[in-house]
Amino acid sequence: MADDVVWPLVFYSVTVALVTSGPNFHHFTWVSILSLGAYSALACVGVEQYFFWTFMSIQAKVIFGVIVMSAAQCGVFERAYESNGALGFILGNFAMHYLPALLAMFMARREHVYCGAVRAFGQAWTSLAIFLCWMYHDKPMDVYNCRMSSSLGFVGILIIMLATKSVIVHLHP
């Protein structure tokens, strides 16, 4: 049992350190990092299965958004590159946007991933509600300095939800 708590406790501690260091919650990435802390805290007490698909769906939105916004050359990524240089940008981008999903997959137990389609769908829809609340409060095209239609965000979220549904159906025959 003690071994089951070590990694979640480490991830939780790192997340708390990051979140208390002055994050900008106007960026959805910080919501995803905060959700890593919640997932890790739940793992410490053995109930992370109630949050796995919510967390992974949030991560999918972040990863998809970063790819699309990078391709669209949104100003936030250009400024990060100019401020941090190529190596700092690559390492920071990986740590902020991709590493949380990898850490959660590392922590996940098989029975939490294969938790039943109804529970997984409910959790995925919870992540959509979290994202839509954030999107209502903070206008993504302004926050990230993107020159593309905000309706693309809704199309992207629809694609992510359909992909999540496909993964869940595939994992829960």
pLDDT, position 96: 86
Mean pLDDT of the chain: 80
Render pLDDT for 93-150 as a digit per residue (tens, 0 to 9): 898 899 888 888 777 777 777 777 888 888 888 888 888 888 888 877 788 888 876 6
d(CA 63, CA 96): 10
d(CA 93, CA 109): 27
pTM over 0.75: yes
3-state secondary structure of 113: helix
Residue that wins the pLDDT comparison between 78 and 169: 78
pLDDT, position 27: 83
118: its two tokens: 């109804």
d(CA 168, CA 124): 9
**Residue type for position 163:** A
All structural domains of the chain with their residue ranges: 51-171
pLDDT, position 15: 66
